[in-house]
Amino acid sequence: MKLYDAAASGNCHKVRMLLSMLGIEHDVVPINLPEMEQKAPAHLSLNPLGTVPVLQDGDVTIYDSQAILVYLAEKNGSDSWLPTDPVGRALVQQWLSFAVNELWNGPAIARAKLRFNRDVDLPRAQALAATVLSVMDARLADHEWLAIDRPTIADLACYPYSALSEEGEISLAPYPALRAWFKRVEALPGYVGMPGLGN
Ligand SMILES: N[C@@H](CCC(=O)N[C@@H](CS)C(=O)NCC(=O)O)C(=O)O
């Protein structure tokens, strides 16, 4: 298996965490985003959107971090990371969608401006982030994990960009339940950190 990866990418980090937690051997192919390697023909032939992460498993190629998490969880052969019952499956999907839309457009976009100078509307992203983090904090005030009563790929999908919020100058001080959940994610067996996150 090969992961096309960028070290500073929270989307790639979701996949790095699950590969490690599942103990799946793989090669990492670094893609240099500042050098625009993701838009070179070789990478576009894997992912026409020109983004990372991309996972290659034999003749299977998958892009989008959420899709990769689903693939790895299913391939692992048990429902430990992705429940099979209708309610559990739908609740996981709800948070996967939240990761792509709300978390991306809020804290991730604010970070992209302040860390990578992306041309985005910072005040709008920071305002959205406050709403998004409040929603997570309220959910986690009386639930240990986001989707169901055990960790799933929903937690891995939502962790990086919420935990990296301060790189987008969004304070995490008002969200104690969220901060307690970061610690629970970071204590999962096989957890790996990245600059700005965990250990
Ligand atoms: N929805 C996609 C988003 C992928 C994405 O935008 N990745 C960023 C890195 S976090 C990227 O490759 N940016 C480079 C670019 O857009 O040129 C996912 O979850 O994988």
pTM of the predicted protein model: 0.97
pLDDT at 144 (0 to 100)? 98
Helix locations, the chain, DSSP H: 10-22, 41-44, 65-75, 86-98, 109-116, 122-141, 153-163, 176-186
- Order of all β-strands in the sheet with 60-63: 27-30, 2-5, 54-57, 60-63
- Find the CATH number of the domain harbouring 54: 3.40.30.10
Cβ(198) to ligand 1 under 6 A? no
Domain membership of residue 81 (yes or no) is no
Assess whether 17 and 98 both reside in one domain.
no
Assess whether 70 and 113 both reside in one domain.
no
Nearest CA to ligand 1 atom 20: 64
Residue 41's Cβ-count burial label (10 Å; 0-12, 13-18, 19+) is exposed
* Percent of the chain with pLDDT strictly greater than 70: 99
Give the structural domain span for 133.
Answer: 86-186
Q: Please give the Cα distance from 192 to 3 (Å, whole number).
A: 15
> Domain boundary residue among 56, 75, 94?
75
pLDDT per residue as tens digits for the range 67-122 = 999 999 999 867 889 999 999 999 999 999 999 999 999 999 999 999 999 999 99
Assess whether 71 and 102 both reside in one domain.
no
pLDDT at 199 (0 to 100)? 63
pLDDT confidence bin for 45, thresholds 50/70/90: very high
Task: Report the residue among 9, 51, 62, 105 best suited for mutation to probe ligand 1: largest number of ligand atoms under 8 A from its CB.
Answer: 51
